[in-house]
Copies of this chain bind each other. A is one copy, B any other.
């Protein structure tokens, strides 16, 4: 499988297709048409075919896609045929909510390290069995636990310092919940989570309705 320069939006859509396919696997659906899959994912069938065409030949003309097979292939493309180890920094409300959220484990993301600078929290064992470490130990603990992706849930003015520490591990991929732009060198990647982008879609729906 060749990795060309793929649009970021294609990767996001593959991820969304995989969520829909997982639902079908759970329901026992063996085959799906590109029309049905497209409707479920809020895109048009041509988009699905175009997205998949970057990676090869999928589906059977006049039949559709074999659900389990396509899910397996998409997960392989995305690199989800393995578990990924996450390290999370900032054990406030958001950090605790993320650690407890069922989606991560379900999708193969495993928290292996947690950090905070609040001395009331450091050393505490979480319900998941994880221990909260001080941030000064980030580099060492991330190396020891094999952390691959950093999750930043700190206040905005701390986020860049945390990112710098992750780069030293080196952890090359960061999921950033702090409302601030983080600078990283080439080859490192940051995904920012901004809940309000989704709200803008709703505002547009209510306005343009």
A78 and B207 in contact (CB under 8 A), knowing A97-B94, A149-B202?
Answer: yes
Count copies of this chain in the complex.
2
Q: Determine whether A42 belongs to the interface, using a CB cutoff of 8 Å to chain B.
A: yes
A79 and B203 in contact (CB under 8 A), knowing A96-B93, A101-B179, A101-B195?
Answer: yes
Classify chain A's interface size.
Answer: 35 or more
Contact of A77 among B97, B107, B204 (CB under 8 A): B204
List of B residues within 8 angstroms of A36 by Cβ: none
A104 and B195 in contact (CB under 8 A), knowing A23-B181, A207-B79?
Answer: yes
List of B residues within 8 angstroms of A156 by Cβ: 102
- How far in angstroms is the closest Cβ of chain B from A106? 7
Q: How far is the CA of A12 from the CA of B8 in the complex (A)?
A: 14
Residues of A within 8 A of B (CB): 3, 6, 8-9, 11-12, 14-16, 18-19, 23, 42, 77-80, 84, 86, 92-94, 96-98, 100-104, 106-107, 109, 148-149, 156, 172-175, 179, 181, 187, 189, 191, 193-209
Beyond contacts A77-B204, A173-B203, A175-B195: 20 other A-B pairs, Cβ-Cβ < 8 A, are: A11-B200, A15-B197, A16-B197, A78-B207, A79-B207, A80-B203, A97-B97, A98-B195, A102-B179, A103-B194, A103-B195, A103-B196, A109-B196, A149-B199, A172-B206, A172-B209, A173-B202, A187-B209, A191-B199, A193-B198
